[in-house]
Amino acid sequence: MDFQTRFSRISIFILLFALLSFACSTPSWFPFKKGPPHQAKIKELLDKEVVIIDRQEYVKVPNPKAREGTAEPKYLYIPVNDYLSHKEAYTTSVASVDLTQREGSTLSTSSGSTTEMDIASVSVSKPSPLLKKKVVVAYFEDRTANADDPLGDWVAEKLVKDLERRSLGALFVDYSVVREFIEKRGTGQNSLEVPGTLSLLNEVFGIHAVVIGSLSGPYVFTSRTVTDQEGTATAVIRLEVKVIETLTGQVVKTFSSHNPMLATKEKGSFSDEKAKLKAIDLTISDISRSMSRELDTLDWSCRVVKVEGEECYLNAGKVTGLRLGDRLDVFLPGEPGTASPPKGQIQISGFLGMDASVGKIVDGKKPEVNDVLRLGGRRGT
């Protein structure tokens, strides 16, 4: 067989193989391929930036109002389906999309990369007026374990992590800092319930609430049979927690919870330890669900810690959620929350340190150290 004949046969074989391949499927590199109808949208979005917000696709478009010199954001985010249905409308005017409820969402581009976007650049409505309350969770008293087993410490820390995930209006202060402070004053954890100590924590740290708790358990029950030598274990733990408001010294709410025992059933190696962990997780999840709602509804206030001329220094700042220009009403220490009118008003003019601020007197009498301030109006940015 000569070279020309062999080359012709190879060419025919390659051609037949290619035809069969196209008959069965279309290669990914082929420029035109049949696909599901929704893929037709892609060509309409080739020149647009598409982002994913809470699993929904949005098209990033310029905000026409931003050109007017207003405080409007430069871009708006329109649901893909709305954009495709009224594409021509977005070339002249763009309907705004309320994304304030998506604060903190992770935005993902269509290429798969993720970035954290400041909600200020997405939202076109006013920000939430929520100011965060400072809360400290003390280590729990362990009524059953021995002194060498710091289970109460671990459970308290675990509760804080769960509350941080759930609560929208609470900032959690490191308890070790608070404990060191009260120990230097010659008192221990038991003094956290004393009104004088509570008031001091409010004045010094700006703490709004102290959480004190105790636990019983976990109690583990293990059964073994001839066929199950490693055994089957269940466990139960009980948590009792109370929230104390520092400004008034009153117990705001008491929570008590224990896990369903059958939900902790574990078999095999280390079944008793697995059952313990499951009991703790279930109980913490149950109690933090109710507790986070209570913390979010606490009244917010802060204190005047220093006065110099016309300026007042406060124990709350940017981390708390205050903004430049916000106005705070000033009350005497014994009057917050009453029907009495405020003695004056200050306006936030700057921030200091981790979470402190400075304000200037704009109305009424000059504030004094330890005066209580409450939000009077959100005028800041």
Residue 183 confidence (pLDDT): 86
Burial 326-353 (b: 16+ CB within 10 A, else e): bbbbbbebeebeeeeebbbbbbbbebee
Domain CATH number, residue 352: 2.40.10
- One domain, residues 292 and 307: no
- Parent domain of 171: 133-296
Task: Indicate whether 348 belongs to any domain.
Answer: yes
CA atoms within 13 A on the CB side of 152: 19
- One domain, residues 206 and 248: yes
At which of 255, 278, 296 does a domain end?
296
- One domain, residues 252 and 176: yes
- One domain, residues 178 and 254: yes
At which of 227, 261, 296 does a domain end?
296
Task: Indicate whether 54 belongs to any domain.
Answer: yes
Cα(241)–Cα(163) distance, rounded to whole angstroms? Answer: 13
Residue 322 confidence (pLDDT): 94
Task: Indicate whether 28 belongs to any domain.
Answer: no
Number of domains within the chain: 3
Dihedral over alpha carbons 140, 146, 147, 149 (to 10 degrees): -70
Tokens 């583990």 correspond to: 220
| Contact assessment for residue 236 and residue 217, using Cβ atoms and an 8 Å cutoff | yes
Residue 94 confidence (pLDDT): 37
Task: Indicate whether 3 belongs to any domain.
Answer: no
- One domain, residues 227 and 357: no
- One domain, residues 271 and 161: yes
At which of 243, 274, 296 does a domain end?
296
Residue 65 confidence (pLDDT): 64
- One domain, residues 141 and 290: yes
Residue 88 confidence (pLDDT): 66
- One domain, residues 113 and 138: no
**Residuewise pLDDT in 10s, the chain (381 residues):** 554 555 455 454 444 444 444 444 433 333 333 334 444 455 666 667 665 554 456 677 776 666 544 445 565 667 777 777 777 666 544 333 333 333 333 333 333 333 333 222 232 333 344 799 999 999 898 877 555 567 888 999 999 999 999 998 999 999 999 988 888 877 665 678 888 889 899 998 999 999 999 999 889 998 887 777 778 899 999 999 999 999 888 999 999 999 998 899 998 888 899 999 999 999 999 999 999 999 999 999 999 999 998 899 999 999 999 999 999 999 988 755 555 789 999 999 999 888 999 999 999 999 999 999 999 876 655
Q: Which residues contact 313 (CB under 8 A, 6 or more apart)?
A: 304, 305, 306, 307, 352, 356, 357, 358
